[in-house]
């Protein structure tokens, strides 16, 4: 067990308070921010707080020391904006590593000082990783809903640079905080996990999200608490929590919910209330009013880590530490291992859930009408196809841009970004459908929820399979695995069993993929083609489904239902009846979900 996990087993840990307000109190002028080194820098630097890690390190060290003396167990480094994307505003995009490293060193020096006086205490430096000043999920241009301030790849590069600096400076933990754009946060976790995989020193990872609209229970990008949690639940987190934007009164119901659903430690560091410029301190909550409210959260069993964000001071932290002393920390709840996806809202697939409809129509190979719209660049009209699928009952949308005449990667990116601006569509999780890995990866870099990748298989051997599945987990997606291997596509029951069992073993044992994030597709093949061997294809799929559900625990089963009736193209009455009869038996055998023409399914009992 790591030292921090040990502490959290024993008691509630105390996080520090605001850095910004403490720096403001020093009333530093432009020259103080610049120091000797940046005296002639072409940009104004007053207010560039992270720069003080190198120009006024003793001030930063002193603030950390005050928080440690007030009783904080964990101090956050002064590195909120110490990455290339935010630093570009000061033409300092090359200083991400250096400011991050210097920030961790300031905090460690403060720890070293306090440790001399109180050697029995435990102290932790959390490398603070902010959201950057750009968003990858929301449009930056009112005239172009597909415009983005930054990209996943830029974010990963910037976060990796910052993380290396924090670790080289001695950070004990990494805290991805003030998350307002879940896609940005996923890029941060991707960068961190990639560094860990490449051999850098591994430390516990913490996450903290910022919600603004407490009344509607949504974050800045429109996600619910549960949708947010599902989006980042692939990360091996020490803790998840909330900070900033809200005071304790507004944050309370959100923390209560997060505490109920997250099977990791929970943190909270609210602002000292909502900012109010008429007040002398700018914030309404004093140490005396804040501490009892957070004590009540602790008494309710919601907290493992608690501190303050904007407007809080060492005085707040001191009273807070006293208020929660001796309170039993939250016990981590046991969460049922269901399949959990998300768009703006969460989708949970339980063993007893109804069949999940996946909309098939946003597919250029499956719908000539959709293909025409995309090829003609009529994306607005193409969006209405997605909307119709959701209105028709689709709980997931399958998006496929595999068409020879298209730049499939560009089309995937553009369409997903447009979907992200339509809350009535992106409330549901997305399924990125392509036979090309590059297109799947582009999809993953443009979705803030927890999506499904459709699909991978053992077609090109184990090495490729493992490589792709490893990345899919790191991107935070579930995956459709086709019953396909080096020898070809499985059509018999035995071959379907053999390939699915082998894939399951590799995914769960070699990669540590969660069984509930695996969705097998044992191939819905076309019947009644005129070739006798094809006549049992539907039955083989149904029997394979039954076998998978009995023998591969946790895994789900899906299929492309409309494939079964391709022999009857043009006769929709027959096709719809076939789909309905097929589903009637497949669902009984355990089929969890299927790619269907949502809204066009006949009712089995009503078929003449
Ligand atoms: N498994 C997985 N993914 C898949 C499939 C699968 N993705 C693609 C496909 N199969 C599922 N999607 C469709 C979409 C449309 C149709 C069939 C499967 C379809 N379209 C009509 C046709 O071609 O006749 C179009 C009719 C029209 O629009 O005019 O049948 O198996 N994992």
Cα separation, 523 vs 521, in Å, equals 5
Residue 563 alpha carbon to ligand 1 centre in Å: 6
Q: How do strand 484-485 and strand 488-489 relate by DSSP bridges?
A: antiparallel
What 3-state DSSP class applies to 324?
helix
Closest CA to 241 of 265, 263, 260, 266: 266
- Ligand 1, residue 562: give the atom nearest the CA: 17
Give the rounded percent of residues in the chain with a pLDDT score beyond 90. Answer: 96
Strands of the sheet with 452-456, listed across from one edge:
556-557, 518-521, 478-482, 452-456, 430-433, 396-400, 356-359, 593-596
User: If 0-12 CB within 10 Å is exposed, 13-18 middle and 19+ buried, where does residue 463 land?
Assistant: exposed
Q: Whose CA is nearest to atom 16 of ligand 1?
A: 366
Average pLDDT over residues 568-578: 96
Residue 18 alpha carbon to ligand 1 centre in Å: 54
Is the model's pLDDT at 468 over the cut of 80? yes
Report the residue among 560, 569, 596 best suited for mutation to probe ligand 1: largest number of ligand atoms under 8 A from its CB.
560
Cis peptide before 12 (omega within 30 of 0): no
Residue 507 alpha carbon to ligand 1 centre in Å: 27
Cα separation, 163 vs 79, in Å, equals 10
Closest CA to 500 of 487, 483, 525, 485: 483
pLDDT digits (tens, 9 = 90+) for 137-151: 999 898 999 999 999
Residue 277 alpha carbon to ligand 1 centre in Å: 58
Give 268-307 as a DSSP string: EE--SSS--TTSTTS-S--HHHHHHHHHHHHHTT--SEE-
Average pLDDT over residues 338-346: 98
Is the model's pLDDT at 217 over the cut of 80? no
Cα–Cα distances (Å) from 181 to 15, 150, 310, 329, in that order, read 23, 12, 19, 29
Cα–Cα distances (Å) from 16 to 37, 76, 319, in that order, read 30, 7, 12
Q: Check residue 176 and give its pLDDT.
A: 98
Residue 342 alpha carbon to ligand 1 centre in Å: 23
pLDDT digits (tens, 9 = 90+) for 229-254: 999 999 999 999 999 999 999 999 99
Q: Whose CA is nearest to atom 3 of ligand 1?
A: 560
Q: How do strand 518-521 and strand 478-482 relate by DSSP bridges?
A: parallel
Is the model's pLDDT at 171 over the cut of 60? yes
Cα separation of the two ends of the chain? 64
pLDDT digits (tens, 9 = 90+) for 418-451: 999 999 999 999 999 999 999 999 999 999 999 9
Q: Check residue 476 and give its pLDDT.
A: 98
Report the residue among 392, 455, 519, 562 best suited for mutation to probe ligand 1: largest number of ligand atoms under 8 A from its CB.
562
Is the model's pLDDT at 485 over the cut of 60? yes
Is the model's pLDDT at 219 over the cut of 90? no
Q: Check residue 599 and give its pLDDT.
A: 87
Is the model's pLDDT at 601 over the cut of 90? no
Cα separation, 173 vs 203, in Å, equals 5
- Ligand 1, residue 369: give the atom nearest the CA: 28
DSSP classification of residue 135: -
The residues that bridge with 74 in the sheet, in sequence order, are 15, 124
CA dihedral 274, 178, 441, 192 (to 10 degrees): -170
Give 416-473 as a DSSP string: HHHHHT-HHHHTS-EEEE-S-HHHHHHHHTT-SSB-EEEEE-GGG-HHHHHHHHHHHH
Is the model's pLDDT at 216 over the cut of 80? no
DSSP classification of residue 47: T
Q: Are 599 and 388 in contact (CB under 8 A)?
A: yes
Average pLDDT over residues 16-31: 96
How far, in whole angstroms, is CA 21 from its chain's centroid?
A: 30
What 3-state DSSP class applies to 71?
coil
Average pLDDT over residues 356-363: 98
Q: Check residue 148 and give its pLDDT.
A: 95
Average pLDDT over residues 586-598: 97
Cα separation, 484 vs 345, in Å, equals 32
Average pLDDT over residues 45-52: 98
Angle at 473 between CA 468 and CA 477, to 5 degrees: 105
Question: What angle do helix axes 408-420 and 379-391 make, rounded to 10 degrees?
Answer: 60
Give the pocket of ligand 1 (CB within 6 Å).
Answer: 360, 363, 366-369, 433, 454-455, 480, 521, 524, 559-560, 562-563, 569, 595
Report the residue among 595, 598, 600 best suited for mutation to probe ligand 1: largest number of ligand atoms under 8 A from its CB.
595
The residues that bridge with 356 in the sheet, in sequence order, are 593
Residue 549 alpha carbon to ligand 1 centre in Å: 24
The mean pLDDT value of the chain amounts to 97
Cα separation, 331 vs 343, in Å, equals 28
DSSP classification of residue 100: H
DSSP classification of residue 262: -
Q: Whose CA is nearest to atom 4 of ligand 1?
A: 560
DSSP classification of residue 507: I
Residue 449 alpha carbon to ligand 1 centre in Å: 24
Cα separation, 107 vs 169, in Å, equals 9
Is the model's pLDDT at 215 over the cut of 80? no
Average pLDDT over residues 377-403: 98
Q: Whose CA is nearest to atom 20 of ligand 1?
A: 366
Is the model's pLDDT at 214 over the cut of 70? no
- Ligand 1, residue 454: give the atom nearest the CA: 32
Is the model's pLDDT at 213 over the cut of 90? no
Report the residue among 363, 389, 537 best suited for mutation to probe ligand 1: largest number of ligand atoms under 8 A from its CB.
363
């Amino acid at each position: 067990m790591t030292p921090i996990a040990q502490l959290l087993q024993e008691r509630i840990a105390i996080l520090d308070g605001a850095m910004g307000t403490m720096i403001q109190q020093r009333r530093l002028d432009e020259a103080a921010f610049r120091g000797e080194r940046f005296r002639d820098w072409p940009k104004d630097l007053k207010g560039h707080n992270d720069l003080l890690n190198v120009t006024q390190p003793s001030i930063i060290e002193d603030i950390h020391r005050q928080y440690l003396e007030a009783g904080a167990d964990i101090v956050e480094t002064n590195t909120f904006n110490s990455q290339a994307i935010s630093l570009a505003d000061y033409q300092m995009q090359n200083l991400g590593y250096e400011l991050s490293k210097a920030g961790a060193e300031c905090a460690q020096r403060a720890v070293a000082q306090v440790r001399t006086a109180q050697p029995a205490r435990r102290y932790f430096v959390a490398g603070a990783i902010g959201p950057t000043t750009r968003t990858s999920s929301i449009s930056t241009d009112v005239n172009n809903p597909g415009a983005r301030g930054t990209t996943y790849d830029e974010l990963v590069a910037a976060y990796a640079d910052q993380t290396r600096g924090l670790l080289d400076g001695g950070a004990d933990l990494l805290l991805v905080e003030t998350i307002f754009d879940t896609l940005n946060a996923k890029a941060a976790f991707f960068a961190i996990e990639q560094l860990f995989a490449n051999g850098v020193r591994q430390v516990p990872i913490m996450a903290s999200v910022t919600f603004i609209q407490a009344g509607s229970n949504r974050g800045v990008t429109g996600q619910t608490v549960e949708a947010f949690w599902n989006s980042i639940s692939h990360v091996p987190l020490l803790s998840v929590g909330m900070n900033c934007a809200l005071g304790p009164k507004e944050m309370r119901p959100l923390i209560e919910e997060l505490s109920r659903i997250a099977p990791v430690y929970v943190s909270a560091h609210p602002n000292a209330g909502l900012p109010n410029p008429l007040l002398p301190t700018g914030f309404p909550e004093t140490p005396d009013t804040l501490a009892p409210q957070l004590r009540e959260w602790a008494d309710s069993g919601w907290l493992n880590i608690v501190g303050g964000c904007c407007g809080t001071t060492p005085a707040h932290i001191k009273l807070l530490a006293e208020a929660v002393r001796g309170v039993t920390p939250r016990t981590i709840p046991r969460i049922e291992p269901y399949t959990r996806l998300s768009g703006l809202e969460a989708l949970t697939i339980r063993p007893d859930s109804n069949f999940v409809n996946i909309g098939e129509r946003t597919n250029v190979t499956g719908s000539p009408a959709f293909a025409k719209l995309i090829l003609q660049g009529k994306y607005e009209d193409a969006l209405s196809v997605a909307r119709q699928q959701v209105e028709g009952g689709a709980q997931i949308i399958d998006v496929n841009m595999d068409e020879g005449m298209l730049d499939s990667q560009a089309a995937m990116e553009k369409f997903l970004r447009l979907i992200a601006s339509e809350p009535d569509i992106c409330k549901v999780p997305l399924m990125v459908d392509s036979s090309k890995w590059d297109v799947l990866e582009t999809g993953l870099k443009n979705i803030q929820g927890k999506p499904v990748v459709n699909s991978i298989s053992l077609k090109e051997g184990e090495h490729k399979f493992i490589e792709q599945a490893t990345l899919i987990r790191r991107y935070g997606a579930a995956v459709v695995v086709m019953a396909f291997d080096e020898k070809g596509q499985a059509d018999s029951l035995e071959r379907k069993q053999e390939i699915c069992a082998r894939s399951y073993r590799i995914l769960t044992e070699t990669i540590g993929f969660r069984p509930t994030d695996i969705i097998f597709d044992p191939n819905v093949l076309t019947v009644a083609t005129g070739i006798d061997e094809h006549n049992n294809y539907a039955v083989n799929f149904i029997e394979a489904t039954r076998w998978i559900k009995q023998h591969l625990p946790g895994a789900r089963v899906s299929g492309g239902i409309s494939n079964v009736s391709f022999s009857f193209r043009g006769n929709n009455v027959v096709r719809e009846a076939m789909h309905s009869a097929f589903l009637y038996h497949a669902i009984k055998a355990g089929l969890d979900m299927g790619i269907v023409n949502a809204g066009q399914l006949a009712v089995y009992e009503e078929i003449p």
